[in-house]
Structure formats: C-alpha cells, structure tokens
Amino acid sequence: MLHFSILGALEIRTSAGKAEIPGDLQRSLIQVLLVSEGRSVSGETLAEEMWGDSAPDNQANALQAHISRLRRRLKSLEPDSPVSRLSTHPSGYRLTVAAGELDADEFVKKIAEAETLLAARPERAAELLRQALGMWRGPAFGHFPGGAVCRLAGARYEEQRLRAMELLFDAELRVGRHARILAELNEAHISNPLRERFCEQFMIALYRSGRQADALDAYRRMWRRLSDEIGVLPSPSLRGVEHAILSHAPELTPGDDCPVSQSA
C-alpha cells in the first residue's frame, strides 16, 4: 500500500519509508493524476500541465515516455502488486488510488463527518477537525503548485482548510472554550483579513472573555478594511454579532443549549 500526500510538498510513502519522485515533469504528472480523483485525464491535459506553452515538438512521444517512466517507478514501489496503478484508457490515463491512500481525500472526509456532528457532538467535531487540519504540512503541493489544474485544486483545498478552521472555532465556541482559541482566532483573523466569519468568531470569543471593548474595536477595524479595500459594508451576519454584543444578547453566552449561529 502506498500513501500519497499533497497537503504540503508531494510525498509518496511506502512501508519502507519515503519514496522519491525525481524531476519536475514527473511531479507535475503524478500531481495532476492524483487531483483527478480516479478519473481519466487526457493526454492534452497532462501535456498542458507538464509543459504549458513550452511543449516539445514530439509531445506525444515525450508524454508517453514520462508515463512509462512513472509506471515503472510506481511498480518498483509495489513489486508484489499484480496490476499497474497507472492505466491507459481511450480517454487518457488514470491513476488508481484506494480509500485512505490520499491525504486530501481523508481531509475532506473528516470535514464532512465533523460537520454532521457539530450540533449534537461539538467536542467530537472539534477533535476530528484538529486531526484534519493537522494533516497539512504547508501549502498544497508545497512550492511546486504545477499547472492550471493543480493550482485550481490547490485553491479548492485551501478553501476547505479555511472552512475547517471556521467549523473548528464554531465547535470550540459551542463548548465554551473561547479562551483556548483566542490566540488561534486572532492569527486566523489577521491572516485572512477579509474573511468575515473569522472576525465574527473572534469578536464572540473576546466578548465571552470579558473584553467587550476589544470585540467592538475588532468590528470597527473590519468595517474600515472592508470599506477601504473592497468598497463594501459588513455583511448582515457580522453586523448582527456587533448588535448582539452591544445588547448583551443571551445567545452569546456559551452553553450546550445555546450554540453560536452564523447570524448570532
């Protein structure tokens, strides 16, 4: 069994340890096959991902050579496997990856499971989300994002990572752990200054920590940033949190029977 990691620099691990995939073109090839989630990828797409506008004159032959090279490399990592993971189809090429072998797939599954548990079992949801976020070793694909297909996939995974952070903070707030996550929330808010949900959660955590003035100051700074940088007003949800803080709304009080909502 192999384990493929793309939540960070590309890694392939076997029972014996980390396996090297030498060369940028080989890394580009396996990355685009991995993010295609078991679907066939056309030769044209693979070539575009590997070479962009610098494709060689003998592009088809060059691609076939790289396919053969990767197939041999993967086979060498699983010498007892009766079939090749990398197969050829009329529509292109497909890499077979079983359940549990790709970190990005496991990351997405953990988020989905946590989301279903958030209302009824927020502590378990928080545990799953911390496990999921702990799978990241750096930006998707590290410092080698590849071509357009991989860059789009990387952006999609990054959005899911931010969503997982939002869900985690929601879960922690539901069980009254506002003090525990204040530093994490502050970092998330600073790192994503136009993402309003982090600001909402940060304001709630500050308010619950007895720092109402700081919570309202965070709102004012967010208001100015939204106005100055993109010319919009805070969303109804963010304005609702400010109003709830000013009126000391009971829904801001932590408790199992009083979950934090998007509209606070």
pLDDT of residue 257: 38
Residue 264 binned pLDDT confidence (cut-offs 50, 70, 90): very low
pLDDT of residue 5: 97
The pLDDT tens digits of the residues spanning 117-159 come to 999 999 999 999 999 999 999 999 998 988 999 999 999 999 9
Residue type at position 91: S
pLDDT of residue 255: 59
Question: In whole angstroms, what separates CA 105 from the centre of its chain?
Answer: 10
CATH class for the region spanning 3-95: mainly alpha
The pLDDT tens digits of the residues spanning 204-223 come to 999 999 999 999 999 999 99
Domains 3-95 and 178-264 share a fold: no
Cα-flanking dihedrals φ and ψ of residue 256, to 5°?
A: -60, -30
pLDDT of residue 17: 92
Question: Which sequence spans correspond to the domains of the chain?
Answer: 3-95, 178-264
Place domain 178-264 in its CATH homologous superfamily.
Tetratricopeptide repeat domain (1.25.40.10)
CA separation for the pair 45, 86 (Å, rounded): 16
- Beta strands 3-5 and 11-14 are antiparallel
Residue 238 binned pLDDT confidence (cut-offs 50, 70, 90): very high
- What pTM value is reported for the model? 0.91
